[in-house]
Amino acid sequence: MEEILTALKTIQNDLDNQRQEIRETGKTVTEQVTKNISMMFEEKFSAINKNLEDVKEKMEIQEKGLQNLERQARKNNLVFFGLEESEKSYENLERNFITWVEQYLSVKINNCDIQEIKRIGKKGEKPRPLVVTFLTLGTKIKILKQKRALIDTTYYFKEDYPKQVLEKRKKLQAQLQLEREKGNMAKISYDKLIISKVNPKRKLPISPENAMPTNTEKIQINKKNKIQQGDQSVKRSSSFSEGIIKQGILNYVVKNSTSKKNNDNKQI
């Protein structure tokens, strides 16, 4: 009976050990499978992320290319505001604009200088802005130089910027004002703020090169030395002549004294 109980206990222990081994094996297999699945997902996600980054980079390059093309297309454009909207045809609009430019800007142009002219926006009570594409950049620059002629009028014109550039320029206005209040020279160029800091004047440090006299200084020094040498020679000649004069006077006095004594001796 005891042998049977001992055998049963042995069997029970073996079963327990097998269960434990099965549990550990199952746990190990589960961890390995999970790890393999995670690695597969990570590889897939890494590949997807890389593809997304590549696509994003290509889109940014294409976006910059489109922006450059749009900037190039608008390079010769100006947008005019306040011009009366009374034209009946394209030719009439073109003719009215040429007359207006000559009258208010004192610039003579003709229809050959205009590549395209059009109104933008919905028609309403106020005149719509007028976008003019000039045939050459030189014609546009001539117009820009006369911008101050419209100061006391209801007319004005601006560069033709894309919408995103206008938004950037609007955001930069506050920073532009702040830099100018600091005393710095600042301006907005296209979509960037350019700042030129004004530094107080300071003396240049003395270097061996600065310490060396220039040709002009050498000439002035030579002239000064010559003048001083001339003064010294004059002083020397004066002293010499004074010595001669004093010596002559002394000889004269001695001679007179001697002759007087001789005369006295003769009289005696």
Give the CA radius of gyration of the chain.
52
Same domain for 155 and 176? no
Nearest partner of 165 among 141, 137, 188, judged by Cα = 188
Q: pLDDT class for 35, splitting at 50, 70, 90?
A: confident
Domain contains 236 = no
Task: Verify that 82 and 110 share a domain, yes or no.
Answer: yes
CA distance 231 to 95: 83
**Could you tell me if residue 126 is inside a domain?**
yes
Query: pTM of the full predicted structure?
Result: 0.57
User: Over the stretch 171-214, which tens digit does the pLDDT of each residue have?
Assistant: 989 988 988 888 888 888 888 888 887 655 554 554 444 445 55
User: Is 13 a domain residue?
Assistant: no
Same domain, 104 and 172: no
Which of 102, 129, 160 is where one domain is finished? 160
Nearest of 141, 101, 103, 105 to residue 117 by alpha carbon: 101
Instruction: State how beta strands 185-189 and 77-81 pair.
Output: unpaired
Residue 229 lies in a domain: no
The pLDDT of residue 73:
92
Q: Based on the fold, state whether residues 92 and 105 are members of the same structural domain.
A: yes
Measure the CA–CA gap between 46 and 165, rounded to whole angstroms.
35
Alpha-carbon gap, residue 48 to 56, rounded angstroms: 12
Tell me how many helices (H) and strands (E) the chain has: 6, 6
Q: What is the pLDDT of residue 98?
A: 97
Query: Which band of pLDDT confidence, cut at 50, 70 and 90, is reported for residue 69?
Result: very high
Give how many domains the chain has, as a whole number: 3
Sequence-distant (≥ 6) Cβ neighbours of residue 197 within 8 angstroms: 184, 185
Judge if 26 and 65 occupy the same domain. Answer: yes
Terminal Cα distance for the chain, rounded: 195
In a domain, 248, yes or no: no
Asked, for residue 253, whether it belongs to a domain, the answer is: no
Is 138 within the bounds of a domain? yes
Residue 246 — pLDDT band, cuts 50, 70, 90?
very low
Residues 44 and 83 in one domain: no
> How much of the chain is in helix, strand and coil states, percent to nearest 5?
65, 10, 20
Q: Which of 73, 91, 111 is at the close of a domain? A: 73
Q: What is the pLDDT of residue 222?
A: 56
Task: State pLDDT tens for residues 99-152.
Answer: 999 999 999 999 999 999 999 999 988 999 999 999 999 999 999 999 999 999
Amino acid in the structure at residue 196: S
* Residue (of 163, 58, 73) closest to 115 by Cα position: 73
Q: Which domain holds residue 184?
A: 161-204
Residue 146 lies inside a defined structural domain of this protein: yes
